[in-house]
Structure 1
C-alpha cells in the first residue's frame, strides 16, 4: 500500500482517475464483458443464452415448424463438380502417368456422381417451400446446418422460390462461413453442438438425411434414438439414396441379431427423389393430428 497525498486533487487529476475506473474491466456491465462471459464458471449461462436467443428469434419470425435437412458439406453442385472434373482431366492429359493426378480424376468423377444429391436437395426444398409457406405463421420452413454442400442446396432451393429458410451455423476450428442462401435474419451461430441439436428438433416435423459423413450420421442416429425411446414424438425420417444407405448401414442385420426391434427398421423411409420424399412426409402427417396440408 502506497500512501497518497491528502491534498485536494486538481480537476484534471480527478478526471484521470475516473478514466482509469471507466476503462477497468471490473466497471463493465457483466453482459458486456466478453472475457467474463467466456469464463468456465459462466458455462451454464452461455448454455441458457444459446437456448433462448434462437428460440426468441424464431418466435418473432412466426416460425411454427421446420423440416430439417442434413447431408455432406463436401457434395458439390453439378456445375462445380463438372468444372473440377474437367480441370483434373486437363491436368492429367499433360502428365498421363502421374499417379496423384489419376487419383484426382477418380475423386472428381465421384464428386460428379454425388452432385445429383445437390440437385435433389435443392429441388426438395423448393417443392416443400412452395407448398407450405402460406399465411402469417410459417410452417415447414427448411432448416440446415448453414454450411456448404447439401445444406447450401436446401437453403438455395428455398431462396430460389422466395421462401424463408434457416441456417444453424457452428464455430469450428477451421473457419466456416454460412452459405449465402440463408435468410439473413434467420442465420444463427452456435458454440455448443448440444444446443444446436435441440434447435434442430424442437420444431421439426420431418428429418431428411442425404448422403453424408460423421455429422449427418450423428444427427440421424440421435433422432432415431429419440423417436425409438419416446423422447421425441414420431416424425417422418427420410433417407435419400437407397444404394448409399444399404451399403453404409445394415439395419436389417441389427434387427436379425436382436440389437434393435423389427419395428425400429420402420422408423425411417428410404427414397430417391424429391417428389418421393415430399410424398412420404405428406402421407405421414395425413394420418397424424395437425398434419400438413394435402395440397
Structure 2
C-alpha cells in the first residue's frame, strides 16, 4: 500500500473502503490516526490487513472481540495487523478498537457470510480413527508461532501441480457421519505420488513430523514459519527433503506428494494459518498483502 499524505483529502470512495481518519487533540484538522482495512468487502475465510498510521504513538494497540492482535511495523509510522476469519467466525457487523496516543477509537465494518459446499469422504478401515497425542501437541505448538520478522514477499506460490480436489472451507461427512465443528482447513491438490512440493513463500522449517514417529493423522508433515504469525503446513507427504531450522526460499522443493496419514489417495493438503486460525490460502496467491 502507498502511504497517505497527512494533507491528502479522503474521498467518499475511501470512506466506503473502510478508511477511518481520526482527529487528534491538537489544532483543528490535525491528523493523528488513520486506519485502513482491506479487503474492502471481506467474507468468511479472508485474512484482513489492518494498517494503522499514527504519528503520535510508536506502539499502537488493536483489539477485536476482546482479543488483542499484534501490530508489526511496516516502516515509518505505519503498523500492520493480520486478522484471520474462518467459516466459524460470526458474520455481520464487526468493531475494531484501536488505541494510540492515549486514546481509543472504534472502527466498524461488515464481514460477509459465505456458503461452503459439503463433501462425503470414505476412509478405509484403520484410517478412520487416527491421531496421536504427540502429533496433536506438536502441531498445536506450531500453530502458536508468531515470529516478529516477515519473511514472505508478494504473492504466495502454488505448492504443487495437479488439480484442486478440495477447496478451503468444505464441510464433510466421514464414512456417512457428519463432522460437527469441522471445516476443511486448507486446499487439496490431487497429484501423483512423488510429485514435487515446493515452499509457497520464504520461511523457516519449524515442524517436521513423520508417520513412522506418530503422525498418524497428518502423515509426513512439514510446517513453514513465514513470519508474523503466518504459517504453512503441508501434510500427507511421501518424502520430506528439509530439516527443522532450515531456511527455504519460495519455490524450493521441500518434499513430495504422498498418501500418508488419513488420506484416501495421493494428494497434498496445504493449510495456511494466521494467528493460529486456518484461513483461505487463495487470496494469498493473489498477492493482496503488502
Interval of TM-score (by shorter of Structure 1 and Structure 2): under 0.3
The structure carrying a bigger strand percent of its residues is 2
Give 1 or 2 for the bigger CA radius of gyration: 1
The structure carrying a bigger helix percent of its residues is 1
TM-score normalised by length of structure 2? 0.22
TM-score normalised by length of structure 1? 0.21
